[in-house]
Structure 1
Amino acid sequence: MPRPVPKLPPGYRARPASAADAGAILALVAECERAEYGRVESDEGAVAAVFARPGLVPESDTVLVHDRSGRLVARAWVDRRSEIDVHPGHRGRGLGAALLDWAGDRAGRAGSEGVVQTVPDGDTAAVTLLRTRGYVPLVRAWLLEYAMPDEPRVPQAPPGITVRPYRHGDGPAVHRLVQDAFDEWQQRRQPYGEWARHIADRPAFAPAMSPLAFHEGQLVGAALSLELPEWDDGHIEQVAVRRDQRGRGIARLLLRRAFRDFHRAGRRSCTLWTHSDTGALDLYLRVGMTIRHSSTVFRKELRTPAP
């Protein structure tokens, strides 16, 4: 089956991406994030982890778009999920629409029943484009922040709970805990290697700011943190508590512990993402976090084309 190629406006050319392009892709993503949020919210580790997604074939599932001068001005990848970024200076020329159509076509040819795309709620042009292409809202996501002008107070641990930072060798147990906790809402369990590329093996991973909770020697909770190079904030990437230990204040304890550790490292605010499927928003608001900005995950149902 021939590889689908996006139908680009005149003056642009497309090619597949490779892991060697991670630096250039990050530069593009950073420009898009500065335009949308006023700050960079990605790092090269996150970009590189895309190429480790199980089933993703860069030659057919990724696209880089260059202008006449050879500058990278847009990119897209699709593997059930899809991400599309267009440089702010090249928006309004049809690149986003071309890449969105390409992503849907590629996902359909790969046999996917649907494809999802996350868009900042403030990007009204992108939201409108998705809706005109048949995408419908699936879940809402929020970036939350916790301001720390003073050192956060850490509550007393519940009876029988001890807390220590993440250590070398904790990865497999933490991975199991996270996947078990996320089974309630995630579509598939991430294998260890994929999870580790996003978390424990990522250059930005901050084990000293990643507290783990134990009960009778068994891991029951984790707050896994990142120190992103261009962020002034600390960032908590994943929070998980074993189901039979929920409702005891363990998540609140781990969050406060991570906040304090980041404060002692010189950070004066801390962020994390959550979405409506997790049901955790109220917990984070009770801890004292506030919403910085929001995004919506859209989904489009696909019909697999005839061979």
Structure 2
Amino acid sequence: MAEPSLPSPYRGRPATPADAPAIHRLVAAGEQQLFGLAETGPDRIAAELALPGLDPALDTRLALDAAGEPVGWAWVRGRRSTVDVHPAHRGRGLGGALLDWAEERAREAGTDRLSQTVPDADRAGVGLLRARGYEPFVTEWQLAIELAAEPPEPEPLPGVTVRPFRAGDERAAYLLTEDAFDDWQQRRKSYPEWAALSVERDTFAPALSPLAFAGGELVGVVLALATPGSAEGYVERVAVRKDHRHRGIARLLLREAFRASYRRGHRSCTLWTHSETGALGLYESVGMTVRRSSAVYGRPLAGGQTAGKSKV
């Protein structure tokens, strides 16, 4: 795989796990500029570099400045990609060069379509993708709830018991969430992939992650993250078994998670959802409001071959 054609004095090379802190710095700088705070944690970058099926030597590239510091990066995995450039180095052609590399890598891997998520506030990123023929096809929303006081204890549901996540729950939680997400996702995650993005992250918070049981069986899951020193909690997963939906289990678990987050010291809690889940109304019903939005942009790649049924 050729290196991206970067403008002077930049040079490219593959990323390694040791680069995760430096990649996080450039990602955090962009979020700070767009949103006023850094939202992505270092553990998220480390998890992405360790995803099963992603070979950093083939599927990632860094743009290094003259001092050897990563100021841009890109990765490709199946039909998904990310391109990000430090705000101090934008407008110099790095984003376009990394996008060229991502498309070529996807074609080389036999992929017929490529997509990536870009915040609506990132006008330059949106403009670059649209100029290359990418079109939005999914809307994503970040929702938040302010926790000025401890939320009241939620009313229990008949026949449903709730307790925090504990060791040994991993496989059952994986099966429940993947079964639930079959309604809209086109590809089930393997357990290693799912775990790397949730329960194996450094910031996974079992005590803030309530589970619901009925008849001794797991029927609902909320998985939460807690970044040390942050006043904001984050809900990574919400899922209810299909035959137990419309009973109020998701609302019950979210309210339990909000109470636990408040007791941990969080004064707000956020999560992301998107237009294919149909869950926006659920989150609004428990007091969450939309804070910001993103879109998933995609385009077909000439010369690629179909790489599975996933459209993203």
Instruction: State the TM-score bracket (shorter-chain normalisation).
Output: over 0.9
Matched with 1:63 is 61
Does the 8 Å contact 2:231/2:265 carry over to 1? no
Q: How far apart are 1:300 and its partner, in Å?
A: 1.3
Q: How far apart are 1:10 and its partner, in Å?
A: 1.6
Q: Which moved more, 1:176-185 or 1:226-235?
A: 226-235
Structure 1: gaps (5+ residues): none
Q: Mapping of 1:1-307 within 5 angstroms? A: 3-79=1-77, 80-229=79-228, 231-304=230-303
State the one-letter code of the partner of 2:246: G
Aligned partner of residue 285 in structure 1, secondary structure: helix
Q: How far apart are 1:157 and its partner, in Å?
A: 2.2
- Number of matched pairs: 304
Distance 2:228 2:267 in 1: 15
Q: How far apart are 1:231 and its partner, in Å?
A: 3.4
Distance 1:66 1:271 in 2: 33
State the one-letter code of the partner of 2:71: V
Distance 1:245 1:217 in 2: 13
Distance 2:30 2:229 in 1: 14
State the one-letter code of the partner of 2:262: H
Q: How far apart are 1:154 and its partner, in Å?
A: 3.1
Structure 2: gaps (5+ residues): 306-312
Does the 8 Å contact 2:133/2:299 carry over to 1? yes
Q: How far apart are 1:4 and its partner, in Å?
A: 2.9
Q: How far apart are 1:230 and its partner, in Å?
A: 5.8
Q: How far apart are 1:187 and its partner, in Å?
A: 2.1
Relative to structure 1, the CA distance from residue 43 to residue 13 in structure 2 (aligned partners, 3 Å threshold; closer, same or farther) is same
Distance 1:99 1:154 in 2: 49
Q: Which moved more, 1:192-201 or 1:247-256?
A: 192-201
Q: How far apart are 1:228 and its partner, in Å?
A: 2.0
Does the 8 Å contact 2:224/2:234 carry over to 1? yes
Does the 8 Å contact 2:113/2:304 carry over to 1? no
Aligned partner of residue 35 in structure 1, secondary structure: helix
Q: How far apart are 1:113 and its partner, in Å?
A: 1.7
Does the 8 Å contact 2:230/2:266 carry over to 1? no
Distance 1:178 1:255 in 2: 15
Distance 2:136 2:229 in 1: 31
Distance 2:154 2:231 in 1: 25
Does the 8 Å contact 2:141/2:274 carry over to 1? yes
State the one-letter code of the partner of 1:282: G
Does the 8 Å contact 1:41/1:231 carry over to 2? no
Matched with 2:310 is none
Does the 8 Å contact 1:63/1:77 carry over to 2? yes
Deviations 1:238-262 (A, max 9, x none): 0000011110000000000000001
Distance 1:134 1:101 in 2: 13
State the one-letter code of the partner of 1:246: R
Q: How far apart are 1:305 and its partner, in Å?
A: 5.6
Does the 8 Å contact 1:39/1:231 carry over to 2? no
Q: How far apart are 1:229 and its partner, in Å?
A: 3.6
State the one-letter code of the partner of 2:150: E
- TM superposition score normalised by structure 1: 0.96
Aligned partner of residue 128 in structure 1, secondary structure: helix
Does the 8 Å contact 2:162/2:210 carry over to 1? yes
- Percentage of matched positions with identical amino acids: 55
Deviations 1:43-65 (A, max 9, x none): 12211111232321111110011
State the one-letter code of the partner of 1:256: R
Q: How far apart are 1:264 and its partner, in Å?
A: 1.0
Relative to structure 1, the CA distance from residue 272 to residue 193 in structure 2 (aligned partners, 3 Å threshold; closer, same or farther) is same
Distance 1:184 1:104 in 2: 29
